[in-house]
Amino acid sequence: GAARTAELPLEGRHVVITAGGTREPLDPVRFLGNRSSGKQGVALARAAAAAGARVHLVAAHMEVPAPADMEVTRVETALELRQAALQAAAGADVVIMAAAVADFRPAEAAGTKIKKRDDAADPVITLVRNPDILRELVTRRSEQEAGPELIVGFAAETGDAEADVLEYAQQKLERKGCDLLVLNQVGKDLVFGQDTTTVTILDRDGSEPATVSGSKDATAAAIIERIGSELKPR
Ligand code: CTP
Ligand code: CA
């Protein structure tokens, strides 16, 4: 018979990736947002698909289009992203939390446009905390003794020295309880606006952190390759 082609690293795996930045409404025309472009999440989704995975992208606001050849769920707020991510994670082998999730949302969104008035005080916005979706994914997995084999978190940290950044990332990895944490190094040595990024992958076992620099596509491919190597062979 025909020679069997070498199996791709994520062949037969179901990968859920959250990407982009959530938007928390203040009123029908305004929101609290963040600067996430979604580019890294989309690069990861493409790299995972190229590695043979069935990819489900849970996309908050992005400045780039979602790939056409995969399942995409659009969300706006952190609460919507939570629901979509938890639901999608139920049948997934890997969940990658690349989205920038708002830590807080306005306690209430006005039903009508907030108007400025000369006869009333300026508004004060009260924020309430959003649930930590990554922690919830980890907690659910341990409670149910079922769930994704690998849960991957992201962190963008700044620091005065690389050691501080890594230390901060290590603490985040422990606090979140995820299996891998990908640190986006945005320190002072790294020039903004360049097309190259530097990521460091930390794992729960405390292995030596692995740093990769290159284009967003190259770093995404390296992250996906590492994820593939962490999965138990079938
Ligand atoms: N995350 C999440 N739910 C939130 C906030 C963050 O799932 N409500 C996820 C992000 O998608 C990311 C990881 O947690 O994968 C780390 O996000 P980050 O904002 O760096 O961590 P926080 O715990 O929110 O800490 P910080 O106070 O530094 O923002
Ligand atoms: Ca945060």
Q: What is the pLDDT of residue 1?
A: 45
Q: Are 17 and 57 in contact (CB under 8 A)?
A: yes
Task: Specify the pTM.
Answer: 0.94
Q: Would the pLDDT of 150 be above 80?
A: yes
Q: How far apart are CA 164 and CA 160, in angstroms?
A: 7
pLDDT in tens, 170-197: 999 999 999 999 999 775 555 455 667 8
Q: How far apart are CA 116 and CA 119, in angstroms?
A: 9
pLDDT in tens, 25-51: 999 999 999 999 999 999 999 999 999
Residue 133 labelled as part of a binding site: yes
Q: Would the pLDDT of 127 be above 80?
A: yes
The alpha-helical segments, DSSP class H, found in the chain are 39-50, 78-89, 133-144, 162-176, 216-230
Closest C-alpha residue for ligand 1 atom 17: 155
Q: Would the pLDDT of 87 be above 70?
A: yes
Residue 190 labelled as part of a binding site: no
Q: Is 183 in the pocket of ligand 1 (CB under 6 A)?
A: no
Ligand nearest to the CA of 156: 1
Q: Is 103 in the pocket of ligand 1 (CB under 6 A)?
A: yes
Q: Would the pLDDT of 125 be above 50?
A: yes
| Beta strand spans in the chain (E) | 14-19, 24-27, 30-32, 54-59, 71-74, 94-97, 104-106, 127-129, 150-157, 180-185, 196-203, 210-215
Q: Would the pLDDT of 215 be above 60?
A: yes
* 3-class DSSP state of 164: helix
Q: Are 105 and 130 in contact (CB under 8 A)?
A: yes
Q: What is the pLDDT of residue 103?
A: 98
* Span 113-130, average pLDDT: 95
The complex's ipTM works out to: 0.99
| 193: number of Cβ within 10 Å | 4
Q: By mean pLDDT, which of 21-25, 48-52, 109-113, 143-147 is the weakest?
A: 143-147
Q: What does the mean pLDDT of the chain come to? A: 92
Q: Would the pLDDT of 2 be above 80?
A: no
Q: Are 152 and 227 in contact (CB under 8 A)?
A: yes
Q: Are 180 and 230 in contact (CB under 8 A)?
A: yes
